[in-house]
Structure 1
Amino acid sequence: MTHTTALPQVLHFTDPGLREQIEAMPEGTALIGISTTGRAIAVDLDAESPHVLVCTATGGGSTTVLRSLTAQFLHQGAHALVLDLTQVSHLWAKDLPTVTHRGNIAGIHDALVHLADELKRRNQLPDHHLADAPRLIVAIDSANGTLHRLARYWETFRQHDDPTTSPAVTALEEALWTGRSVRVHVLLDGTPHTSVLGAAAHELFATVILARFTADTWQRLAPITGPAPKSSRHPGHAHVVQEGTAHPTQLLLMTDAEAADWLTATAAGKN
């Protein structure tokens, strides 16, 4: 019988032993949080979860999840493209040498168009060269608003013979469909709507993190897990859905300063 306990009240990066546990994780694996069984709930990008979907109401911790996961992969040697429409949610990443941070919509558009070129380049690499290419994390905060803004931005200068769909949105779709084979992974904060991402809906996210959700959101994003459980208002409490099972989880809290300091120390070889 599985022993179930209450979730931790909070899970800080600075908790005794936690940083060491995180740093001992295999490359491509990152801690999401701790479940009611005391189990470490993690995502393995090389297994069944090449991409992660985070869906929360305001204050549910989606920015924190993107920060903690992206920071862990960066610590392991990945590079990251951080798309931050608010321009203030991920300032921790702006000065890191292996991060491209974009906030205004023109910069986000151009970065995703460049991502399409990078996907094409990686697809042409021999396997032994691809294995040496750094893992690339595409972290998209406020994805719903970002994608709709990208669509409107494209309409402002699209010519009559240009494609109807924004090439930036098309690049993101391609990353979701083909990224796994070329070590490109999407961490997306939002709800993937077929009106924007076409067929690339939640089926492509084998790890879904839900907090402060409605019953309707649960049924759309975690339909095979059964009826929606009670949603908690406690900061950091979430449900992580993997392989058809929902794990009540206390999310890892890593502040801006902790992420920046940790990664700066990593780059300096001080870890």
Structure 2
Amino acid sequence: MDQQTQLIQLCKELRLPTIRKMVQDQDAFKQPKQAYDVLLQVLTQEKEDRMVRAKQTRIRAANFPQKKLLEELIEEALPEQARQKLPQLKTLSFIQEGQNVILTGPPGTGKSHLAIGLGMEACLAGYRVFFATVPSFINQLKEHRSERTLRSFELKFEKYDLVILDELGYISFDKEGAELLFSHLSLRADRKSTIITSNLSFLKWQDIFHDAVLTAALTDRLTHKSHVLNMSGASYRMKETEEWMRNSNDQVALN
């Protein structure tokens, strides 16, 4: 590909129609070769800078509570199913195929870290991501309903490439909250990907939804063609606390 063709392509990608017309009309430059050299360097840098800014913007817009990377996970400490599935999940093919990922297990086993890490990878790969804890998400939905902006939020919500809802099961919610959560997750069923983390097994979800029929319907929609990972295992945080206490005691003994 010659320089002129490269420049025309860059101008299209960067939406610079005036510069593109000048490049197409070689008579616009007294010394086209020198002008193309400079323009190619400048526009290539502009494209790279825009890509970096776009990644940063997507990460900010996702509203992660912390920036946790998959590389920071201690894979050997993950529950067995997570270790087995991690290579496949890292490819983000589940997003391309509109599949869900359900992570269930006790606190401290890496559910939130894994979910956020996958969300960060998705942002870097160009996907639009939405993150919220389930309690805060339900509060958002109730506020939108009271302000009569729920429909505009729904239109935006169903278009996210990946939605991550963390901490399902820590706090139960009322009938309105259960119905709002069900209706919004149903918008994405079999079309867009959702990651859900929960400290409860599916059998106990009825305890927080208080409706057997709704719970069964939601479970059916979420688990259809999904990656369901049992994250039962020893708590990361408990291991870190025990190690910290041992190190502290060793330090005291040395002093």
TM-score with structure 1 setting the length? 0.36
- Rg (Cα) greater in structure: 2
Structure ranking higher in helix proportion? 2
Higher relative contact order (CA 8 A, sep 6+): 1
Structure number with higher strand proportion: 1
Given the two structures, how large is their TM-score scaled by the length of structure 2? Answer: 0.38
